[in-house]
Chain A
Amino acid sequence: MFKIGAMEMDGTVAQPLTKIIKPSYGWMPIRLDAIWAHRELLYFLVWRDIKVRYKQTLLGVLWTVLQPLMLMVAFSIFFGRLAKVPSDGLPYPVFTFCALIPWQLFSQALTQASNSLVTNDRLITKVYFPRLVIPLSAVLSGLVDFLIAFIILLTLMIYYGISPTSALWTIPIFVLLAVVSALAVGLWLSALNVRYRDVRYTIPFITQFWLFVSPVAYPSSIVPEPWGWVYALNPMAGVIEGFRWALLGKTEGPGSELVLSFAVVVALFIGGLYYFRRMEKTFADVV
């Protein structure tokens, strides 16, 4: 009572915050303001993931670059040297590494986001906050790994004497597309994972499958013409070709296919947001 009186007197808060708790039905509006209000929590969760990720490992942050580097070596030998997969006239190692970097960002983000709700079950059952913060933080924490790997890519380009094109400034757009794609799929899978633990076992398969349908080991130019637009339904095709175009400068710039990729991602993302919102209220009871 004292508090209310005081607040009314100095006029800063006329009425205390009032909220109604009641059962909700059907589709809920997306509360972006609630996410914004919890931005500090988002920051701390990302910070925690980054801090903890390589604790008590021998190689630490080296793991970030080791994985794509090893894959690059394997791909270069088997696809580049032995299978003679074309690489748009670029040295095969840099051609494939340039794709592995955004690919790793995407697949890590997707995996982390999909498992995020289940691994953070303690938070979900004991504290209230918009649950969207959890997959969001899982996706964002992958960006630091990406930055480190990106520096290695630049080093590799220097080694091969390739300089980035003037379209370098478009890289953030492609990074954004990769992250939003991962989040879009991650939202669906994380919400499903809470109820159906089958999802946990599907995720490695999904990422592996997706790797093969993305132009990581091969250029998308080998996809015959009438199928080009079908291929563009995979947003990672646009992201990877975008990276090669902006950094290595040998392939054609992304065109109308990229618009299709964006459309697919946006549709998937908005659908994912609403599905997540709808399922959110049951997480604490089911997880």
Chain B
Amino acid sequence: MSHIAIRAEGLSKFYRIGGRERYYTLRDSLARSFTVPFRWFRNGRQPAAVDCQSPVNPTLRSVNGNAQFIWALKDVSFEVKQGEVVGVIGRNGAGKSTLLKILAEITEPTTGWAEIRGRVGSLLEVGTGFHPELTGRENIYLNGAILGMKKAEINHKFDEIVAFAEIEKFLDTPVKHYSSGMYMRLAFSVAAHLEPEILLVDEVLAVGDAAFQKKCLGKMGDVANEGRTVIFVSHNLAAIAQSCEHGVLIHEGCVKKQGRINEVVQEYIGAAATSGSCVEPTAVEHVTGLNGIQVRKVKLVNGLADSFSVLWKQPLHLTIDIEVTKPLHNISFGLGVATLDGVAIFTVHNTDLSNELWSLAPGVYQISVKVHNQLRAGMYNLILGAHEAIAKTSIFYIPDAIRLEVATPTDAQDLYFEHNAGIVNGSSTWMLSNHLQGTSGDCMLISR
């Protein structure tokens, strides 16, 4: 007999755009019942799998008011053996959370099925059901019950939970008076003491300070060693690689790769690394319409040896070849950089300094742009877009086609990386003065 804990066959989930179905008023419902045939006619083609939670410019997406549909998950099949710890990775909106919600029975699949053997506990959010007016003690019981623990079980683990969260002194204080760190520690602590046979975890490590994160990772490791089956969704590739043996890469609702975690992470990073110093975005990657501009080619002029990567501290020098198909006025071009999990780092526009909007006649153009680069070494997402600045309509928007790598400096003896943290490089000038000896003893230390 095979010891399969979870088997999923062809799981699919269909949503209206926005990730959730919107709610209706009765009036809408009546109105819709008249227009449905027409809308099917208009949107007749297969719904496209679209990343619907783009972090950088969500407004651009709803520009055309028509209802859009997406397959949040499409024909997802996989198996998880008893005792395996499986990491699920993928970009924002790839369908990772939808998958967990289906396995946790929070929402039903549209088609397909899954077989689950064992008691399931799901942690899609820490602190679900925490009530601000209740004390820490009361919330431990409430949250425990919500997560599926029995009262006796909570009694049994109560001291352990409190000790893990380090909140002994505030046990009888309403949690609304907690600092956010304390709040998260308590919430995670309750969750960490859940002991189901199968544990579904979504993004919970994004909580608390670094020390507590480390402690949580340790606790997750314990969980793995206890022979429990765990499915773990995270953007934190390091955490995934550390605590999982197997991985599933989900891309636009489909399983793109599954297997050993290292291979899956490689595939994810590899998919992210664009080959060559040029990118030619396809029509699909122009997320909001082709309202007159199509981007033909994006080139990193100062890219390292035929790759879309730039050396640390080097400016980004890009050329963007565009084709304009109709006369356009008052156009503002923008460029943004985001982390792979969708955190926007910065955006810049051609209007930032000059305030001068561009007018374009049909034809082929090349835009050249230089961007001061403070990014630390790593992979980033380069986002391009243009909009008509008066009517504020989107002309094109490419959120997810270009991967930028910032390469590690070769002189690895540089202490900067060892000492500093963050997404961007800071730069600072430091002075030390000795007041006892007057101003003559000033010395300057480091300038970056």
Q: Which residues of chain A have a CB within 8 Å of any CB of chain B?
A: 1-4, 16-24, 40-41, 43-45, 47-48, 51-52, 55-56, 122-129, 194-198, 281-282, 284-287
CB of A126 within 8 A of CB of B116, answer no
- Distance (Å) between the CB of B335 and the closest chain A CB? 35
Question: Whole-angstrom distance between the alpha carbons of A168 and B278 in the complex?
Answer: 86
How many B residues have CB within 8 A of the partner chain? Answer: 53
Q: Are B25 and A4 in contact (CB under 8 A)?
A: no
A82 CB → nearest B CB, Å = 40
Give per-residue flags for B70-110: 1 if the beta carbon is below 8 A from chain A beta carbons, else 0: 00000000000111000000000000000001111111111
Partner of A127, one of B103, B113, B146: B146
Shortest C-beta distance, A4 to chain B (Å), equals 6
Q: Cβ of A41 and Cβ of B23 under 8 Å apart?
A: no
Contact of B147 with A by CB under 8 A: yes
A32 CB to nearest B CB, Å: 18
- Picked from B107, B133, B138, B227, the residue with its CB within 8 Å of the CB of A56 is B133
User: How far is it, in angstroms, between the C-alpha of A20 and the C-alpha of B24 when the chains are bound?
Assistant: 31
A contact residues around B133 at 8 Å (CB) = 51-52, 55-56
Known: A20-B113, A21-B102. A127 touches B20 (CB 8 A): no
Contact between A126 and B114, CB atoms less than 8 A apart: no
- Of the candidates A20, A23, A41, A198, the one whose C-beta lies within 8 Å of that of B145 is A41
Asked if B55 CB lies within 8 Å of chain A CBs, one says no
Residue among B109, B111, B112, B129 with the highest chain A CB neighbour number at 10 A: B129
Give the chain A neighbours of B148 by CB distance below 8 A: 41, 127, 129
CB pair A21 B82 closer than 8 Å: no
Contacts of B138 in A (CB 8 A): 48, 51
Residue on B nearest A282 in the bound complex, by CB: B21
B117 beta carbon closer than 8 Å to chain A: yes
Closest-CB distance, A202 to chain B (whole angstroms): 10
* A10 to B141 CA separation, bound complex (whole angstroms): 31
Find chain A residues with CB under 8 A from B442 CB: none
Identify which of A45, A128, A194, A198 contacts B25 (C-beta below 8 A): A198
Any chain A CB within 8 A of the CB of B259? no
CB of B3 within 8 A of CB of A123, answer: no
CB distance from A130 to the nearest CB of B (A): 10
| Complex: A49 Cα to B140 Cα, angstroms | 16
Given contacts A1-B83, A126-B106, contact A285 B25 (CB under 8 A): no
Q: B446 at the A/B interface (Cβ < 8 Å)?
A: no
- Among B21, B106, B119: residue with most chain A CB under 10 A: B106
Pairwise interchain contact A3-B227, C-beta atoms closer than 8 A: yes
Whether B256 is near chain A, meaning CB under 8 Å from some CB there, is no
- Which of B37-45, B120-128, B344-352, B403-411 binds A? B120-128
> CB-CB < 8 A to A20: which residues of B?
113-116
A44–B145 CB distance below 8 A: yes
List B contacts of A17 (CB < 8 A): 117-119
Per the bound structure, the CA–CA distance linking A44 and B114 in Å amounts to 31
Provide the residues of chain A in CB contact with B413, threshold 8 Å: none
Evaluate contact between B129 and A122: CB separation under 8 angstroms.
Answer: yes
- A3–B116 contact, CB under 8 A? no
Q: How far is the CA of A132 from the CA of B119 in the complex (A)?
A: 21
| The one of B24, B25, B105, B146 that contacts A41, using a Cβ cutoff of 8 Å | B146
Against A, the Cβ 8 Å flags (1 = close, 0 = not) of B18-32 are: 001111111101000
Q: Are A126 and B128 in contact (CB under 8 A)?
A: yes
Contact A128 B122 (CB under 8 A): yes
Minimal beta-carbon separation of A213 from chain B (angstroms): 24
A127 touches B109 (CB 8 A): no
Q: Are A19's CB and B116's CB within 8 A?
A: yes
A24 to B113, CA, bound (A): 10
Across the interface, name the chain B residue whose C-beta is closest to A53. Answer: B133
B residues in contact with A48, CB < 8 Å: 131, 134, 138, 142
Whether A123 contacts B146 in the complex (CB less than 8 A), given A4-B3, A196-B29, A284-B107, comes out as yes
Chain A contacts of B120 at CB under 8 A?
128
The docked-state distance in angstroms from the alpha carbon of A63 to that of B108 is: 42
A sample of 7 cross-chain residue pairs with beta-carbon separation below 8 angstroms, ordered by A number, consists of A2-B83, A19-B115, A20-B114, A21-B116, A22-B108, A51-B134, A196-B29
Query: How far in angstroms is the closest Cβ of chain B from A17?
Result: 6
Contacts known (A127-B106, A128-B106); A21 close to B114, Cβ less than 8 A: yes
Smallest distance from the beta carbon of A285 to chain B beta carbons, Å?
Answer: 5
Q: Given the complex, which residues of B lie within 8 Å of A4, measured CB to CB?
A: 3, 82
- The answer to whether A24 touches B108, judged by C-beta atoms less than 8 angstroms apart, is yes
Chain B contacts for A195, CB-based, 8 A: 23-24
CB < 8 Å: which of B113, B124, B150 contacts A21?
A: B113
**B151 contacts A by Cβ under 8 Å:** yes
Query: Does B197 belong to the interface (CB within 8 Å)?
Result: yes
CB-based contact A22/B113 at 8 Å = yes
Q: How far is the CB of A116 from chain B (nearest CB, A)?
A: 13
Given A17-B117, A284-B101, verify A23-B110 contact (CB < 8 Å).
Answer: yes
Q: Is B15 an interface residue (CB 8 A)?
A: yes
The 4 closest A-B pairs by CB, nearest first: A22-B113, A44-B145, A128-B105, A21-B114
The complex places the Cα of A8 from the Cα of B278 at a distance, in Å, of 60
Chain A, Cβ-Cβ closest to B102? A21
How does the 8 Å CB contact mask read for B270-286 relative to A, with 1 for contact and 0 for none?
Answer: 00000000000000000
| Min C-beta distance of A284 to chain B, whole Å | 5
